[in-house]
Amino acid sequence: MDEWKQLIFNDSSSLSDIALQVFEYQFEHNPVYRRYCVALDDISASCETELVSESESKNVKEKILNRVRDDITSYPLLPIKAFKDAAVTAHPSQETELVFKSSGTSDMQRSIHQVHDANLYDQSLLKGFQHFYDLDNAVIWGYTPGYAGNPHSSLIYMIQKLIDQDNSGLSRFLPLGEPVNPNAIKEVQRQGKQLILFGAAFGLLDLLEIDDFNLPSNSIVVETGGMKTHRREITRGELHKRLAKGFGLDGSRIHSEYGMAELLSQAYASGKWFSTVPWMQVTIRNPENPNKVLPPYQEGVIGIIDLANVHSCSFLLTADKGVMDNKGRFQVLGRWNPKDLRGCNFLIDED
């Protein structure tokens, strides 16, 4: 497994070269992804069984490899709903080190991501965060109502891992439903640290309603989505304005994080547009034909290559609507109503 870490986070290797090796590995070892690739190649192929002939599998693999050597966007993207319907893993017979589950009530069908190398994920989230922020000088606060009751929350895990990197003792999860201690803010300032506050939209708005307080002017607030509150759904722009005013910060200090239980990498935005880490690529796909990449500024479904997902599936079609600019940055515009996708039954049933 150490070989994958060295390869994925190697700055001297291109994403396309690494993706080629990851695809071959996942096609060979991940039965769900292999069956999906075969089904896309031949819609008459049966997906009710894992039995795929060796010759058929080899032919499909060679077809895909011939395409992607010239065009990295040609990898088959597995609909992310597969994480609700099947064990998406390259290690189906092995114990898993971590299990992440999407948020939701106990009676909901939730996505399950089996993480077979916790250290690889730790490297992905820490290197990814350091790609955008100065972690060495940061105090991390998390305010996460709605997530605290999920012991398999990838967001809680990520924030805790960031907290663990701080030796000052100032990083923490804030107590739910309680006002922020002004002395804690003063101590962050006294030690010359930069405060970075993580929270979902509804949690941050709730925190502001508990008590009025201003954060130090160099602070950063990172909202992690969740625009649908118990009040009403609000736009990201409106949310950022309310957070900036409530925390007494310039609007440029309100940032966004894009991640999910099914991904082991995160994207960050300091304005409207998200940027990715070097081992991640985002494209916008035609919802009627996900194999087609849409041009800049045309809305479609967000497709992702996340090489940190090497032990599950790195080639994913999300259920999120998005748009991309001509610099390779993207916006998230909400959820896309799922369409029937050509492939296996367990991939095309709507929620």
First to last CA, the chain: 35
How far apart CA 88 and CA 32 sit, in angstroms, is 6
Q: Is 281 helix (H, G, I), strand (E, B) or coil?
A: strand
Which pLDDT does position 221 carry in this prediction? 98
How many other β-carbons are positioned within 10 Å of the β-carbon of residue 74? 16
pTM over 0.75: yes
Residue with tokens 């200090």: 253
* Paired tokens of 163: 């907290």
Which pLDDT does position 346 carry in this prediction? 41
Q: What is the pLDDT along the chain (351 residues), one digit of tens a residue?
A: 679 999 999 988 899 999 999 999 999 999 999 999 999 887 545 455 455 678 888 999 999 999 999 999 999 999 999 999 999 999 999 999 999 999 865 567 899 999 999 999 999 999 999 999 999 999 999 999 877 778 899 999 999 999 999 999 999 999 999 999 999 999 999 999 999 999 988 899 999 999 888 999 999 999 998 765 555 678 889 999 999 999 999 999 999 999 999 999 999 999 999 999 999 999 999 999 999 999 999 999 999 999 999 999 999 999 999 999 999 999 999 888 654 444 444 443 333
Residue with tokens 């894992």: 50
Which pLDDT does position 345 carry in this prediction? 43
Q: What single string gives the DSSP state of each residue in 59-109?
A: HHHHHHHHHHTT-GGGSPPEETTHHHHS---S-TTS--SEEEE-S--TTS-
With helix as H, strand as E and coil as C, how does 193-232 read? CEEEEEECHHHHHHHHHHCCCCCCCCCEEEECCCCECCCC
How far apart CA 283 and CA 301 sit, in angstroms, is 8
Burial call 197-210: b when 16+ CB within 10 Å, e when fewer: bbbbbbbbbbbbee
Which pLDDT does position 340 carry in this prediction? 42
Which pLDDT does position 7 carry in this prediction? 95
How far apart CA 302 and CA 320 sit, in angstroms, is 6
| 172-173 and 300-306 beta bridge pairing | unpaired
Which pLDDT does position 52 carry in this prediction? 61
How far apart CA 72 and CA 314 sit, in angstroms, is 13
Q: Distance of CA 41 to CAs 29, 51, 93, Å?
A: 18, 16, 27
Domains, the chain, in order of start with CATH, read: 2-92+280-348 (no CATH), 119-269 (3.40.50.980)
Which pLDDT does position 41 carry in this prediction? 82
